[in-house]
Amino acid sequence: MPPVVDPVTELWWAARWRAAWPLHRRVPGTCWTFGEAMFLPIICCAAVVFGARMWGDVERSGYPATFLGALTYATACRNSILTLLTGVPFERAIFYHKCIAVLAILAACYHGYVALSFPVDVSHAAIGTEQFTWSVLGEGRNWSGIAIFACWVSATLVALVWIRRYLFEIFNRLHIVAAMVGLVFAAQHGATTTLAGGALWALDKVLSLLFSLAKMNKAQTHKATARVLPADLVEISFPRGSFKYKGGQWCNVWVPNLGLQWHPFSLSSSPHDPEVTFHIRALGGWTKSLVRSLKEVEAGSPVSLPIYVDGPFGSVGLDIDGPTYKSFLLVGGGIGVTPLRSIWGELLDQAARGRAFGKLRLLWSVSDSAMLEGLGVPGPKGETDAQVEIFLTREEVLQGERRAAIGDVMQQVVLGSRPDLNKSFDEMRQHCEKASEKRVAVLACGPTSLIKATQQACLKHSHGGIRFDLHSETFEF
């Protein structure tokens, strides 16, 4: 079977990864990369220096806030120059977006303090100063600036993790509305730099919509089908057609039958599979609505469910295509196995096409055995040293019916146990010592506790000339 990705694209990904690798490396003992650790202090220092030099000048004291505001909008773009040139995954770029947004709010506070402490030269003031005032604030106090600040703070509050995770619809809608209203007041306030960043963000949204419409036939998403699997798991699939993607990437999915809502989901199929699949578990309001709607019409077989797909997005922060690594350790928890399943399938396909690997291991920790009935992980092909271990953490015994439903996957199952990461890392170290390998790629996706345990294991076992490089995802958008 011919490779899914053309050689030029593969060479670009490999070259980009090697050039940006120092920025992707994690600072020992932290979850930060060196790129993040360098970038944020530079932004902070620049904002402080410019703010100090503009003390007493009401109009110029707002420059740091408008510049940081522009960066906030720009780093929310999925199709951005940052992700294209550096290879920073969008889920990591969101980290920059969050931090810069907080800095923009602090810079706006500083600008507001200067505006309240010093008189405004109306003849040089920004557009709207005279037209948009409120007598309670005094002469020349620009109410549009306060409205921008309120929009930014509102967008930040609804993005807090416990709101974003459990009330995604509220977060998604209010976050976008606050961002759009903030741009309206930015125009009134004369914050043209912020408008430039907002224009990039708006262009990204328009392009994403146009691309998703264009892919309707290219990706054959109009032929998409869906079925409900045990454990309230939904599988959406459509013929791959000319749709190209890499293992570990994700897409925004719009199901018109459930309203005008886009939701991010990881691709669970590997790039060589004839069908593109998403496996979605009902954990929130929208996903539960999806399950209910399918149960109402499903008659024991897949049903037609036309969708729109925006993507793929993201990239693995490790070189999974080049010669950097020969051994891979994948650690997944719950539904977090979906991107790892995609990467695992791609690695096995590369092995089938002649790529030489050292040791491949996939550890999957899951609490509900029903998930195994519809979300299996492919076994090794040929003579590749590849092994899958599935740990059922809450079930020590499986009855005959459940064993029969799981089928051949039972050969990979360990009952009533959690993965022993230290044992797995020790085995990988022993292999590297024998094979003279210096680096191991570790990819982890799942709950925060699993990610932290994997990170600690990487730090603990990275010594003696052997290094475990980690790429992790927590699904917390």
CATH number, domain of 452, equals 3.40.50.80
Residues 192 and 224 in one domain: no
- Across 339-411, where does the E strand assignment appear? 360-366, 386-392
Residues 345 and 282 in one domain: no
Residues 256 and 378 in one domain: no
pLDDT of res. 370: 75
Residue 1 inside a domain? The answer is no
Closest CA to 339 of 472, 230, 450, 211: 472
3-state SS, residue 118: coil
pLDDT digits (tens, 9 = 90+) for 12-31: 556 655 666 666 666 665 55
What is the domain count for the chain? 3
CA dihedral 394, 400, 406, 411 (to 10 degrees): 80
Residue 21 inside a domain? The answer is no
If residue 276 lies in a helix (H) or strand (E), which one and from where to where?
A: strand 275-281
Residue 359 inside a domain? The answer is yes
Instruction: Decide which of 160, 177, 203 is a domain's last residue.
Output: 203
Residues 45 and 174 in one domain: yes
3-state secondary structure 2-50: CCCCCHHHHHHHHHHHHHHHHHHCECCCCCCEHHHHHHHHHHHHHHHHH
Instruction: Decide which of 152, 168, 203 is a domain's last residue.
Output: 203
Tell me the pLDDT of the chain averaged across its residues: 78
Q: Are 95 and 219 in contact (CB under 8 A)?
A: no
What would the two tokens of residue 60 be?
Answer: 């110029």
Residue 26 inside a domain? The answer is no
Domain with 421, as residue range(s), is: 328-473
Residues 171 and 59 in one domain: yes
Residue 211 inside a domain? The answer is no
Residues 171 and 232 in one domain: no
What would the two tokens of residue 296 be?
Answer: 């109402």
Closest CA to 188 of 142, 253, 248: 142
Residues 450 and 357 in one domain: yes
Residues 229 and 141 in one domain: no
CATH number, domain of 283, equals 2.40.30.10
d(CA 92, CA 470): 13
Find the DSSP H helices in 54-80. Answer: 63-74
Residue 54 inside a domain? The answer is yes
DSSP state of 409: G
Q: Which of 313 and 340 is assigned the larger pLDDT?
A: 340
Closest CA to 414 of 392, 433, 440, 441: 392
pLDDT of res. 134: 43
Portion of the chain with pLDDT greater than 90, in percent: 14
Residues 418 and 302 in one domain: no
pLDDT of res. 392: 82
Q: Is residue 1's pLDDT more than 60? A: no
Residues 365 and 430 in one domain: yes
Q: Is 163 exposed, middle or buried (0-12, 13-18, 19+ CB in 10 A)?
A: middle
pLDDT of res. 164: 78
Residues 180 and 79 in one domain: yes
Q: Which of 171 and 56 is assigned the larger pLDDT?
A: 171
Residue 24 inside a domain? The answer is no
Phi, psi of 145 (to 5 degrees): -65, -40
Listed in sequence order, the residues at least 6 apart from 468 whose beta carbon sits closer than 8 Å to its beta carbon are: 329, 425, 428, 439, 440, 442, 457, 458, 461, 462
pLDDT of res. 80: 61
Residues 285 and 417 in one domain: no
Residue 406 inside a domain? The answer is yes
Instruction: Decide which of 144, 171, 203 is a domain's last residue.
Output: 203
For the chain, give percent helix, strand, coil, nearest 5. 50, 15, 30
Q: Are 17 and 87 in contact (CB under 8 A)?
A: yes
Q: Is residue 217's pLDDT more than 60? A: no
